[in-house]
Structure 1
Amino acid sequence: MRFINEIIKRFTELKLELKEISIDEITSTRAVFVNAFQVKDKIDNIELIILIGIPKEFPLVKPILFLKNYNDVTFMPHIERDGYICYSTDDGLIIDSNKPVQILEEAYKRSLKTIKNGIGSKRHLEFQKEFEINWQRLDNIEIVDSFLEELPKELKVINVLCKKDLNKHIIFDRNQKDIINQIQTIYKCDIEAFSEHPGIYIPLRKSSSINFPNRFNMWSFKQIKRIIYGNVSSSVKRALNNLKFSDVDIPFYIFLGIPTIQGNIFIGFLIKIKSNQLNHKKNFHPLKLQATNIEIVPLSIKRHGLNFLLNRTQGFNFNDEKKVIVFGVGSIGGKVIVELVKAGINNLIIVDKDIFDVENIYRHELGFESLYPNIKEVYNYPKSMLMKNRIEFSWPYANVESYYMDVLHFIEQYETHIRSADLIISALGAPTIELFLNNYIISNNINTPVLYSWLDPLGIGGHVQITNNNVSNGCFRCLHTIEGNINSLNENKASFAEPNQIFSKSMLGCSNEFTQYSSLDSSETAIFTVRSAIKVLKGQIDGNPVLSWKGDPKQFLEQGFKLSKRYHLSNEMLENYSKMYVVENCLVCGRENG
């Protein structure tokens, strides 16, 4: 490697003893190494021997450093069992591959800083930061899936499901709404296939000082008891001492919540013991067992709770408070439904009168698996039912009601749903029905905000109109009304296409007509719609604007179509003029103002 001499020269300038060594001296399999170096250094009179491995992809990837005498120095965070020094994360890391010597020098300096923090005053804090990730590296670790929404603040007996042949453990709270159905949906099996065992969750106090198991050697049962009793509040200790189980049920589960500045660490233990070593079988206490042959299996917790999972997104967690109705489960509506659920809106009502057919495949959220769920059965399934199944199978926390009917019949039969909803989204692409919906909502004094979402042809843009959003002026009829001629309906004023053009095509006759647009266009409009919906639900949009996104008009123009004047407005002007469509004396919302 051409820069070896430069590396040695630079480390000599830094007054460090660096020498090239055989790659065989690095036993790690983390990379294929082509060169290796050894450096001797000191921090606080502690002698360090650091190995530098140069991967074959270097300098496109960072060098890998190891603390060779890891077992001879104090146990410290950010250093793994093979001595690997975690001095930098790869997330967003930019490496200037034209400067290999500087890369190596920077990696070495960061490694020294990592070691210094690991043996200095920041040691305990650094251990806390990576407690759970290191816990997962303990020997014989087993995984537990947790469906607890929140970690209890007091001692709590919890339910643990176990399936030994799958090595699967699940913790949940039976009082949680619909939790059994959710678990059965996720694991695709009957809950009766699992055995149930008792477990206890013990919250440690905020001032707890817990050191990670020294050099990844699991705590003994005595150490676990010492940690628990030394770090719980007096009320938890009293509850713990009074806790008794009528029959011995081994294995037994113990879970700990350890408060840190970054949140609660959640870990557990599986207590295994031979039943013939127990002194009694009545009123036993899991922490007062005197058996001599106890096996401790560390448990790593995979959190499946909705709140925890949503907090890994942008944080739109509506806590089951919001209910949204979606009219239309087409290419836009289907994608809207999926994104609403991912945004944390888990109570949905979806309405559509159509079946799902093969023509929809490449523009719809549903695919062939929904078209032919069972070859032995008829496959003309309603879109609404298939979308409900898709959502509740993929995101079991969602509660979806589906209605296979047209919007007019739904309005007639289920006005209570419309009044109780927090938001209605219409992705029907059927202006006549939407004009009726608009009139119905406003004339019946229904306070539910309504979003109308639609696409222009051939990717030139998409639109969202927000109506009934705390003010009455500005409605869907306003978009189809021109000042001075309020009794007549016109084409949509927000459209990016000039009026009086025909865009529909047919491949199989007039019963099969459609307007061309791509899945990308419907996806962009759906995301645009859901962003707007979230803002409305959070009270971040004033009044009733029309919001639009513009696409590339090339294909549209190549086919001889004409763009509207509105398309040529800048995005800033579109935003500034977003409420100028309002007709003051509109026959629907104007009479409300009058």
Structure 2
Amino acid sequence: MEIYFEFLQEYGRDLITDLERMEVNEPNGYVLKGTVIVNNKGVPILLSIPDEFPRKLPEIFLQNYDCLGFIPHVEKNGKICFVQQEGVFFDQDFPGDLLLESIKLSISTLEKGESGENRFDFIKEFESYWLGQPNIILSDSIMNLNDKVKLITVWKSVKGHRETLLASDSQLEAKRHFEKVLKQDFKDAKPFTGIYIPLENHDGIYPPGYDDNWTASKLRDVVFNHINVGNKNKIYKLLRNKLISTNPGFIVISIPHVDRNTTLIGFNFTLNKYKGRPNRRKSHLKYWMHPLHHFSGNTKLLPIHFFRHNVDYMRIRGGAIPVMSSRHVVIAGIGSVGSRIAMEVIRSGVNKLTLIDPDVLSLDNIYRNELGADKVYLRAKNKEQVSTQPSMKTRALAEEIKAKFPHVQVYELPNTLEEALIEELIDISEVDLIIVATGDSSGEVFINKFLQDEISAPPTVFTWLDPLGIGGHALLTLNKNRTGCFKCLLHRETLYGPMVNKASFAQSGQNFVKTMSGCSSAFTPFSSLDAVQTAVLATRLAVNVLMGKEEDNPLLSWKGNAEEFLSSGYKLSSRYLKSTVEDLYTYRYHYKDDSCPVCHKRI
């Protein structure tokens, strides 16, 4: 470590002066102190070089954390957050340069903070500063945030030394959160009324300093200077009617960012009694008024930090697309490919799903399915006894979805898609997308023709696998009144020969079905990774359709390694042999048959 002290003395003189070694009791690392120049001011800093350097960056601290005032990116212990390390690569081959660059970035961060250039970073990091306050209270929140003042309920449950708070605007959702997420009995939770206040802008709003809390006066200044007239009148009305003067009470505030994100903070308070003028009953005891009232007295506010679990926030945090929440998707065939697609379309933001499959979940197929052994059997209760029975795939996957994503609406149909269409078990005019992952070519021919004949049919994705990892496919049809359908892929190589799928990577006329214990155990060989890759291909296509990004009906294919396929004695198709990965995408619309009797009749 001494080498870094000598390096900075020789090459870092323009950045750091008065460099000294420090004797510290920490078991790891090497600490130096010195002075850097920030906007023409000498500022004492500490430079901590860990034993893992340069694999781990040095830490740089202000010796007095508030020597430049309260500025962004300086923690209470003086640590300067000069870089976001996630996703950033550092050149470890030149540790000296890395050390100098860390000091430069720290100085730049301090200069921007002291000059006010990065003051808006306070808003971006508001919740981090808020969490650092003394006496902070932690709470979950499942409130739906909007631009209207509204009453909310804060549910409080105390078990031993453990206190749980949950802010909600729906008792049903609060019950579900307590029981499904927190694993607590909702009967133990007591409700308290609170108020939610959305601010219009963040101008002039800064988090409190590390040793400060907002007072009732500060709270009123922030609220009434940053809300519109309608919301201001709503607050006055609630105060007059004493609808928010519960004891204890709660206030929740949302602060908008410039990047359309939102900060959520809260307050807990108790309306204490005080001795005032006697009333008609000659009682001198009265309560201080609500802290939003100008005569609130010495009401003390305790800050609340919210862990946000409302659906919209979690979707965006997980990469979901907000517009997808209103979409209804039907998935037919929820085996190895369809079960994965179901989970991923939900993660993309879809909030309404219909699952169609007539089969039961088999224990010998769980290594290729999203579901595990715990879903193979279902406990059934009657008046006499409790028994087990095989689970339908639709029921098993619906339960899995509801356990992981309790807000999603899931509908089950233990039928074939053909039955569901013929018997009108689903209203296709209310569906945004159908995904067919049955692996049943004959059934898919019927489904394709049926939907092509229906005026109200939604866009439909057909997806399937080739055997032994050589590839997978996803075909879109019925999109934006364009031609191209499943029938376009089918042709006869000879006058009376069987129908052949020209998208296939396997040469026609081969049998890939394997059995392990007779005909009842027949299956097509492919791995779970093959199913996942096909599910990803189909899901990305589905998302593009639901977002309106796909203008036509493409045939998309992924091409895998054919080594196992060939070693098993099988032959590849000319499409596999002649097409590069780039060709498969470039010519994704070239499969269309201009004489197709199905999709061209529709146009």
Distance 1:545-1:207 versus aligned 2 partners, 3 A rule: closer
Q: Please, what is the CA RMSD of the aligned residues?
A: 2.9
* CA offset digits 1:277-318 (Å, max 9, x no partner): 898789964433967774422111222233222323445223
User: What is the CA–CA distance in structure 1 between the aligned matches of 2:244 and 2:353, rounded to whole Å?
Assistant: 44
User: What is the CA–CA distance in structure 2 between the aligned matches of 1:410 and 1:280, rounded to whole Å?
Assistant: 70
Other structure's SS at 1:419 match = helix
- The aligned residue for residue 234 of structure 2 is 239
2:338 matches 1:341: no
Question: Which runs of 5 or more structure 2 residues have no equivalent in the other structure?
Answer: 277-283, 381-385
- The aligned residue for residue 3 of structure 2 is 3
User: What is the CA–CA distance in structure 2 between the aligned matches of 1:104 and 1:338, rounded to whole Å?
Assistant: 45
Q: Post-superposition shift, 1:235?
A: 4.0
- The aligned residue for residue 266 of structure 1 is 264
User: What is the CA–CA distance in structure 1 between the aligned matches of 2:564 and 2:41, rounded to whole Å?
Assistant: 70
2:358 matches 1:356: no
Amino acid at match of 2:515: S
2:157 matches 1:157: no
Aligned sequence identity (%): 30
Q: Post-superposition shift, 1:591?
A: 4.0
Q: Post-superposition shift, 1:441?
A: 1.4
Amino acid at match of 1:21: M
Distance 1:44-1:588 versus aligned 2 partners, 3 A rule: closer
* CA offset digits 1:465-503 (Å, max 9, x no partner): 112223363322232224995x87512111100111111
Asked if 1 retains the 8 angstrom alpha-carbon contact of 2:366 and 2:373, the reply is: yes
* CA offset digits 1:489-519 (Å, max 9, x no partner): 5121111001111111111111101111111
Other structure's SS at 1:50 match = strand
Amino acid at match of 1:160: V
- The aligned residue for residue 434 of structure 1 is 444
Asked if 2 retains the 8 angstrom alpha-carbon contact of 1:247 and 1:284, the reply is: no
Aligned mate of 1:500, from 503, 509, 512: 509
User: What is the CA–CA distance in structure 2 between the aligned matches of 1:215 and 1:286, rounded to whole Å?
Assistant: 22
User: What is the CA–CA distance in structure 2 between the aligned matches of 1:229 and 1:36, rounded to whole Å?
Assistant: 48
**Range that drifts further, 470-479 or 57-66:** 470-479
Asked if 2 retains the 8 angstrom alpha-carbon contact of 1:209 and 1:231, the reply is: no
Asked if 1 retains the 8 angstrom alpha-carbon contact of 2:48 and 2:59, the reply is: yes
- The aligned residue for residue 251 of structure 1 is 248
User: What is the CA–CA distance in structure 2 between the aligned matches of 1:557 and 1:40, rounded to whole Å?
Assistant: 69
2:18 matches 1:17: yes
Distance 1:469-1:272 versus aligned 2 partners, 3 A rule: same
User: 1:330-409 maps to which residues of 2 (within 5 A)?
Assistant: 330-371=335-376, 377-409=387-419
Other structure's SS at 2:43 match = strand
Asked if 1 retains the 8 angstrom alpha-carbon contact of 2:493 and 2:500, the reply is: no
Distance 1:431-1:120 versus aligned 2 partners, 3 A rule: same
User: What is the CA–CA distance in structure 2 between the aligned matches of 1:458 and 1:288, rounded to whole Å?
Assistant: 72
User: What is the CA–CA distance in structure 1 between the aligned matches of 2:286 and 2:334, rounded to whole Å?
Assistant: 58
2:554 matches 1:545: yes
Aligned mate of 1:140, from 135, 138, 143: 135
Asked if 2 retains the 8 angstrom alpha-carbon contact of 1:459 and 1:517, the reply is: yes
Q: Post-superposition shift, 1:81?
A: 1.2
Other structure's SS at 1:3 match = helix
User: What is the CA–CA distance in structure 1 between the aligned matches of 2:189 and 2:46, rounded to whole Å?
Assistant: 48
**Range that drifts further, 63-72 or 39-48:** 39-48
Q: Size of the alignment, in residue pairs?
A: 584
**Range that drifts further, 466-475 or 370-379:** 370-379
- The aligned residue for residue 281 of structure 2 is none
User: 1:466-505 maps to which residues of 2 (within 5 A)?
Assistant: 466-471=476-481, 473-482=483-492, 489-505=498-514
Distance 1:537-1:281 versus aligned 2 partners, 3 A rule: farther
Question: Which runs of 5 or more structure 1 residues have no equivalent in the other structure?
Answer: 27-31
Q: Post-superposition shift, 1:339?
A: 0.5
Other structure's SS at 2:591 match = coil
- The aligned residue for residue 569 of structure 2 is 560
User: What is the CA–CA distance in structure 1 between the aligned matches of 2:355 and 2:175, rounded to whole Å?
Assistant: 24
Amino acid at match of 1:114: T
Distance 1:575-1:539 versus aligned 2 partners, 3 A rule: same
Other structure's SS at 2:537 match = helix
Other structure's SS at 2:97 match = helix
User: What is the CA–CA distance in structure 2 between the aligned matches of 1:40 and 1:520, rounded to whole Å?
Assistant: 56
Q: Normalised by the size of structure 2, how large is the TM-score? A: 0.89
Q: Post-superposition shift, 1:214?
A: 2.3
Q: Post-superposition shift, 1:234?
A: 4.2
Q: Post-superposition shift, 1:216?
A: 3.6
Q: Post-superposition shift, 1:341?
A: 0.3
User: What is the CA–CA distance in structure 1 between the aligned matches of 2:151 and 2:328, rounded to whole Å?
Assistant: 33
**Range that drifts further, 131-140 or 69-78:** 69-78
Q: Post-superposition shift, 1:543?
A: 3.2
Asked if 2 retains the 8 angstrom alpha-carbon contact of 1:273 and 1:293, the reply is: no
- The aligned residue for residue 522 of structure 1 is 531
2:574 matches 1:578: no
Asked if 2 retains the 8 angstrom alpha-carbon contact of 1:463 and 1:547, the reply is: yes
2:107 matches 1:112: yes
Asked if 2 retains the 8 angstrom alpha-carbon contact of 1:247 and 1:282, the reply is: no
Amino acid at match of 2:541: S
